[in-house]
Structure 1
Amino acid sequence: MKNYLNVSLNVGALTKNFLLGGLLVLTISCKNSKKEISAALVVGNSIAIDLQKQIDDCESQLEIAVPKLTDLTKHPRLIETNGTEWKQVLNHKLIWTSGFYPGILWYAYQTTGHEKWKEEAIKRTEIFEDFKNITEHHDIGFMMFPAYGLGYKIGGVESYKDILLTSANSLASRFNPKVGTIRSWSNKMHPRWQQHITIIDNMLNLELLFWAAKHGGEKSLYDIAVSHAETTMKNHFRPDYTSWHVLEYDSISGDILNRHTKQGFADDSRWSRGQAWGVYGYTMVYKETKDEKFLDFAQKITDKYLSLLPEDMVPCWDFDVANDPKEEKDASAAAVVASALLDLSTMVESKEDQKRYYNAALKMLKSLGSDKYSGVGKADSFLLHSTGAKSLGNEIDVALIYADYYYIEALSRLKKMQANEIL
């Protein structure tokens, strides 16, 4: 039986020694088990988060949703504003979100240890093996790594290795050495741009290449990932460390033709999830390369992002319209950054920075798990109030499957950090 604690702490009543300690992590587990955290209360700078409750809330939501999601030709994408159930879309090679649902199930298995989530994850992963050959766009990383990558790492399914290696080679086929980046999208899908397009989102697809290079793939996969990260770092960011969404390069000369947006408020605005992709992407690139220039850059863009946030740590869908209270939030951006911050807090040398990033992540997760953003009792998702592409009139103030994915990833990372007594 799990032992749950309902604890209310008044930080002002803590002893002087606790205050001087800066950050207190209390991990309470049944029978002193090192494998299961039955209740966790994290306190630091007045932050209290019941990690186990938030994990349990996720599992409860899956208990409700999974029995409804029986059509294996489709995957859940969003829950409409004021809706309760997932809207499903086809597992099509041009639909970038198919990997997140099986990824959620893999993390559910990791955080709970319940075999039923592993069984469900395998079933939902293996239905799109043929996607390993996608070369039409860059999103094969998003599609394959949360599913097959986590299945290999968490589920121990060795047969997924070759599928991932093939997927990485498919992604690498879109690399243009004259530009130095992997080409995003296709011009048929996005006729505004006629030549080589690269979007900030593409940073996250590099994880597939790094993984493949370490697991039997060609070294060129690593080199392509580094080149993409270096070129994006050079060209995609403004002097204040915010990013554009879309860059169009000349395919032959590599010259920059345009800096635009697809999902932000305006070409020169700061689309919040675009900034989040950058924070996560460069944190991951440093994790894979250990090249200090990427850590320095990750910190600079992270600090800029944090400086733009409102009190509840969940951004407006675009920072340049954030002063209008009628503009919608984007919980997906907060989930992405919360997960990245936990990793970043373990990479920086300064104790002050470690605690600062860790505490920021806790604040984000506490906010996301609160009644304001949680889907518990309201819909089948973990989170509400995400915005996919308001500028296109799509997915405005909805639940999004990738918001749930990065949220449960963050909870999984935090649980592992506590179990290993990190910070």
Structure 2
Amino acid sequence: MRLIYCCFVLGSLGLATCHQKEVLYDPQRDIDYCVAQVKKTLAVLPLDTPNIPRNITDATGKWKMVNYKDWTSGFWPGILWYSYQASGDDSLRLAADRFSRELSALSQEPALDHDLGFQVFNSFGNGYRLTKDAGYKKIILAAADTLATLFNPNVGTILSWPRLVPRMEWPQHNTIIDNMINLELLFWASKNGGNKKFYDIAVSHAEKTMKNHFRSDYTAYHAVIYDRNTGRRIKGLTHQGYADGSMWARGQAWAIYGYTMCYRETGKSEFLDFAQKVAQVYLDRLPADQVPYWDFDDPTIPNAPKDASAAAVTASALIELSGFVKNSKRADYFYKKAVQMLISLSTNYQSGNANTAFLKHATGHKPNNSEVDASINYADYYYLEALLRLKNIELKK
């Protein structure tokens, strides 16, 4: 474990100050906290479906349950797999297997949308990584086949929402920045017995998104509309951000995470360079406690809601990115920023005794007044992933 200069977060939200001091941060305490919260959640879940916890939005502390078709359905079994990885507790492995298998039908049904990566790779993908169960691999490969059906070769990207969504000009081709994360399923499948063309699809999607999805300052549009027949870019817009031209925090986090992953899977230097650029504009505009407001351009800041989920996604991405960057000072900068984010989340954003989630103060869909200032399963997933990634790095030193 090394000493890291960190912005040490003091006090409650809005009262954070930054002091340069040596802070020895051991993620194990917070990993243990997450495992304990998982066991509390398992104890209150219903036996019958819907039984996958998605969010907690009020003071009752009760989870809203969803079924396997919900786009967030893979995060809960993914959390269970990470908790098993962290603890070795076989009861958590059995629970992870049970909740993963609830999603099996996704690999056999027509694609509802692009979220198969979130759903299947976070669940069965983590399960296969930890157990090498051949049945899991079969489901992952079948899900990749299904996801690939949404690829439009005229455009060069995967269709995100194959249905009518407000402002998406259906039936034109829409692609959202979240889709970058789902490319990992295709990369993995192409290297593990699936169609080799999946690699080309994933690279095409990443390259077209890099070209068309970002403004000159490297901030991301949430969505881009293409002519489905010619591939012509029609416009960039938002569905969940404050405005079409604003930087929606979680969207920018998806970009940081997605291009870091694309570099890992391809070794293409342009993806590594781009990951750093989209990360830097995010980092340059963070508030003192390193956790963003839900949209960096919301005019009500500092009274706007925060988004702990964006911080968790970014922290996890930056830990991985720091291991790829060749410049040691630059790599150390990204690493320290990730640690600062995790310290802040662990100090001021943990749910504690308020409920059985890991984190509070996440924001899902602010324009729709949905999941605002809530606990949400994907915030918890990436928080625990970031903690485990940090621990893994520190153990190697």
Instruction: Please give the range of the TM-score, normalised by the shorter of the 2 chains.
Output: over 0.9
Which aligned pairs between 1:89-238 and structure 2 lie closer than 5 A?
A: 89-92=66-69, 95-133=70-108, 134-190=110-166, 192-194=168-170, 195-238=172-215
Contact 1:335/1:365 (<8 A) preserved: yes
The answer to whether 1:301 aligns with 2:278 is yes
CA offsets 1:3-45 (integer angstroms, 9 cap, x no match): xxxxxxxxxxxxxxxxxx9759xxxxxxxxxxxxxxxxxxx96
| AA of the residue aligned to 1:160 | Y
Contact 1:279/1:340 (<8 A) preserved: yes
The answer to whether 1:288 aligns with 2:265 is yes
- 1:47 Cα deviation after fit: 3.5
TM-score of the aligned structures, taking structure 1 as reference length: 0.87
Percent identical among aligned pairs is 47
TM-score of the aligned structures, taking structure 2 as reference length: 0.92
1:341–1:322 CA distance, 2 compared to 1 (3 A):
farther
Say what the alpha-carbon RMSD is for the aligned residues: 1.7
CA offsets 1:188-221 (integer angstroms, 9 cap, x no match): 2446422000000000000000000010111100
1:344 equivalent in structure 2: 321
CA offsets 1:98-125 (integer angstroms, 9 cap, x no match): 0000000000011111111111100111
- Please give the alpha-carbon distance, in whole angstroms, between the structure 2 residues aligned to 1:327 and 1:69: 32
- Please give the alpha-carbon distance, in whole angstroms, between the structure 2 residues aligned to 1:215 and 1:259: 35
- Please give the alpha-carbon distance, in whole angstroms, between the structure 2 residues aligned to 1:310 and 1:146: 30
Mark the structure with the bigger radius of gyration: 1
SS of corresponding position for 1:418:
helix
- Please give the alpha-carbon distance, in whole angstroms, between the structure 2 residues aligned to 1:307 and 1:343: 19
- 1:158 Cα deviation after fit: 2.1
Structure 1: which 5+ residue stretches go unaligned? 1-20, 25-43
Contact 1:141/1:205 (<8 A) preserved: yes
The answer to whether 1:415 aligns with 2:391 is yes
Contact 2:84/2:93 (<8 A) preserved: yes
| AA of the residue aligned to 1:385 | H
2:43 equivalent in structure 1: 67
Structure 2: which 5+ residue stretches go unaligned? 6-19
- 1:81 Cα deviation after fit: 3.3
CA offsets 1:224-272 (integer angstroms, 9 cap, x no match): 0000000000000001010000111000111111211000001111100
1:190–1:162 CA distance, 2 compared to 1 (3 A):
farther
How many equivalent pairs are there? Answer: 380
Compare 63-72 and 101-110 and name the one that shifted more. Answer: 63-72
Which aligned pairs between 1:266-345 and structure 2 lie closer than 5 A?
A: 266-321=243-298, 324-345=301-322
| AA of the residue aligned to 1:304 | V
Contact 2:62/2:355 (<8 A) preserved: yes
- Please give the alpha-carbon distance, in whole angstroms, between the structure 1 residues aligned to 2:42 and 2:3: 41
Contact 1:106/1:151 (<8 A) preserved: yes
- Please give the alpha-carbon distance, in whole angstroms, between the structure 1 residues aligned to 2:4 and 2:293: 29
1:237–1:192 CA distance, 2 compared to 1 (3 A):
closer
Compare 118-127 and 44-53 and name the one that shifted more. Answer: 44-53
The answer to whether 1:367 aligns with 2:344 is yes
- 1:323 Cα deviation after fit: 5.8
